[in-house]
Structure 1
Amino acid sequence: MENQTYSEHVLLLEGLLVTNQSSYPAFILLLLVYILTMVSNIGLMVLICTERSLHHPMYILYCNLPLNDALGATAIVPHLLSDMFVASSERSIRYVQCVFEAFCAHVYGTTCHTILMIMAFDRYVAICNPLRYTTIMSTRMVVKLTVFAWGVAFLLVGILLGLTIRLSRCRRVITNPYCDNASLFKLSCEDVSINNIYGLAFTVLLLGSSIGSVTLTYLKIATVCVMSKNRVLNSRALKTCTTHLAVYIIVIASGVTAIFLHRFPQWSDHRKLSAIMFHVVPPGLNPIIYGLQTKEIRQKIYSIIHKNEVSLR
């Protein structure tokens, strides 16, 4: 079966590997994390959209992050939960559904970086060119940056998966907790050199531009702060940049760990776990970091909680 061309449109998906004893605790834990992730991310989006005092470029740009985090978690977690109590030999998924899941997963990973890149640019303008901030970060510029963040991801991932779906299939087992591009093109017995070359170039371009632009941005911000010797400016820069940098480090650490473990087949179980963590940890931590560290958002949350407590008395 594995060495013959497989013409049907149903694949076998490995899913999340857990023992019978740990299936219920794993299900409950993953479900709770998913619920908290969705509530916190959607709650932040609603808060920013409904509070006129938060209708500033920084927060409008930030809305892209919880939206992408909700997409990243929803792309794989519900499917993992639904297959938790299904025997591994019976976990099936349609090919079209698998491609769509892979598309969402890769768009999430790519957009994580593009969004954080434009948020770094926003912080650079706010700190290094405060007098021109409203002019540079106009509504038109915010729309352009948002379209850039999502458009680049859709284009690059579309090409990535376009190169994969052109291949014929001679296998049907996805040896991964969820569908991704590498698992899909490994189903083919054709030459996949083009897929490997584009995938490597895609990863190098994305990580290189992301790390390079964020590093350059923070070096310029640090230079301005050192040169100015303004305590107020330095304090504001520290508060606004610490939050962004914490989120960025979490995304980089989660993504690089999964990529690194790909190179060591003997650590396949660790790689599969890290792949799931990439769709769980950043989406779960990002709203907490921004909600607690950003003064304006924290004050709005406190005021809403206080109003609810007063109304209940």
Structure 2
Amino acid sequence: MAFSGSAIFANATFVRPPTFYINGFYNIPHAKYYYVFLCFVYAVTVLGNSFIMGTIYLARSLHTAKYIAVFNLAVSDLCGSSALIPKLVEMFLFNNQYISYEACLTNMFFVLFFMTLQSLTLLVLAYDRVVAICFPLRYNAIVTKAAMTLIVGVAWIFSIAIIAILVAMITRLSFCRSTTVDSYFCDHGPLYILACNDKSISYVMAVTCFVVLACLPMILITVSYICIGIALLKISHGVERMKAMKTCTSHLILVSLFYFPFFSINILSLTSSIKANDRMINSALTQTIPPMLNPIIYTLKTEEVMQAIKILYKQAKVVILRGIALPSSHISISPWMKTEGEKRAF
């Protein structure tokens, strides 16, 4: 009888709240200016990534295996920012910090999924650079469009699977006390620590995801650049060495922007040497600034992209000039009004 009573009590204490309260940046001084800044960041992110995607789609010279990964990075940057920033701005504009249970889990899934995809895409780009510099003669045979499409597809499937499991673990948790999430979105860490039942599985999943999705890619990228460095030392001509190094600069900048702030914040959070508000602002910047800068870096630092943009600009200019000249020529001479001789001359 005592067992039955305890079972009933266990079921009764399992609470799935209808809503969560996202704390956001409301405890941070001058938060409204930060929201304005985020609006600017989002606008630049949308324009920049849309521009780079459009350029890759339209320029035939960029229809290569490498730019499948670059296109995928632009998609993940754009979608990741769209999953995060509009909700933040909505909370600020309408003073609505409540989010339903289902919407919270959805928000968590998409934000973490696209962050994971960004991390894995940077690893894919590192793989592309390793093959290009260490095995230049076999590059076209190894890094084909089909192979790159397969790799990117696996990255999508793996990201969806592991983040879906991470989010699914939240449904096992009971929230019988506070439902205030001390973050700017439905972040996994600040959410699962609110649970009042056993959250050890969620903790293990969080650590596993951190190691597999952040630490492991960073280690592999570091190893890849050690291999690239060794390969560059074997190149006798300084000009060729510099040319090979230039092909890596854009990717190195992207890696630095994405991983270094991310690891710095996490390490400082573990040592408790950073305030909660500072951690929140720095985390938000880490998630929003790289997607804004990535297309700018790839545009300015990559000669192939700059050349493609120049060609597309010239083609667009010609089309516009022809479009302006076309109506007048059509008004003066209509094909169906010409004689047979005039048609041949035309």
Deviation sequence 1:170-223 (CA, Å, 0-9, x none):
132111111111132123101111211221122123333212211111111111
Q: TM-score under structure 2 normalisation?
A: 0.82
Measured in 2, the distance between the counterparts of 1:73 and 1:115 equals 16
For 2:253 and 2:211, the matched residues in 1 are separated by 22
Aligned to 2:302: 294
Trace 1:161-172 onto structure 2 (pairs within 5 A).
161-170=167-176, 171-172=178-179
- Contact preservation (8 Å) 2:74, 2:295: yes
**1:204 aligned partner:** 211
Instruction: Structure 2 unaligned segments of length 5 or more: list them.
Output: 1-12, 325-346
**Equivalent residue for 1:238, pick from 245, 249, 271:** 245
Q: Deviations over 1:91-141 (max 9, x none)?
A: 210111111111112112222221111111111111111111111112221
Code of the aligned partner of 1:138: T
Report the equivalent of 2:87. 79
Supply the distance in 1 between the matched residues of 2:45 and 2:201 (Cα, whole angstroms): 37
Q: Which amino acid aligns with 1:272?
A: M
- In structure 2, what is the Cα distance between the partners aligned to 1:211 and 1:279? 17
Task: Choose 45-54 or 166-175, whichever is displaced more.
Answer: 166-175
What is the CA–CA distance in structure 2 between the aligned matches of 1:128 and 1:122, rounded to whole Å?
A: 10
**Alignment gaps of 5+ in structure 1:** none
Q: Does the 8 Å CA contact 2:61/2:308 hold for their aligned counterparts?
A: no
Q: Which residue of 2 aligns with 1:47?
A: 55
* Aligned twin of 2:77: 69
The reply on whether 1:131 has 2:137 as its aligned counterpart is yes
Secondary structure in 2 aligned to 1:84?
helix
5 Å matches for 1:238-277? 238-263=245-270, 264=272, 267-277=275-285
Structure 1 residues 33 and 266, CA gap change in structure 2 (3 angstroms): closer
CA distance in structure 2 between the partners assigned to 1:270 and 1:109 by the alignment: 21
Shift, 1:152, TM fit: 2.0
1:228 aligned onto 2:224: no
Amino acid at match of 2:129: R
* Deviation at residue 259 of structure 1 after TM alignment: 1.7
Q: Does 1:111 align with 2:117?
A: yes
Q: What CA distance in whole angstroms lies between the structure 1 residues aligned with 2:134 and 2:28? A: 54
Structure 1 counterpart SS, 2:92: coil
- 1:22-75, Cα deviation, whole Å (9 max, x unpaired): 52x333322121111111001101110111111011111111111111122111
Distance of aligned partners of 1:266 and 1:283 in 2 relative to their CA distance in 1, 3 Å threshold: closer
Bigger Rg, which one: 2
Question: Equivalent residue for 2:192?
Answer: 185
Paired with 1:7 and 1:29, the residues of 2 have a C-alpha distance of 35
Q: What is the count of residue pairs matched by the alignment? A: 307
C-alpha distance in 2 between matches for 1:308 and 1:54: 17
> Which amino acid in structure 2 is aligned with residue 280 of structure 1?
T
Percent sequence identity over aligned pairs: 28
Residues 145-167 of structure 1: CA distance to partner in whole angstroms, max 9, x if unpaired?
10122222112212211212221
SS in 1 for 2:88: helix
Equivalent-residue separation in structure 2 for 1:258 and 1:150 (angstroms): 26
Q: Which moved more, 1:257-266 or 1:135-144?
A: 257-266
Contact 1:117/1:213 (<8 A) preserved:
yes
Distance 1:281 1:236, change over 3 A: same
Indicate the RMSD between aligned Cα atoms, in angstroms.
Answer: 2.3
2:146 is equivalent to residue 140 of structure 1: yes
Amino acid paired to 1:13: I
| Equivalent residues of 1:16, 1:80 under 8 A apart | no
Letter in 2 for 1:64: N
Which secondary structure does the structure 2 equivalent of 1:135 belong to?
helix
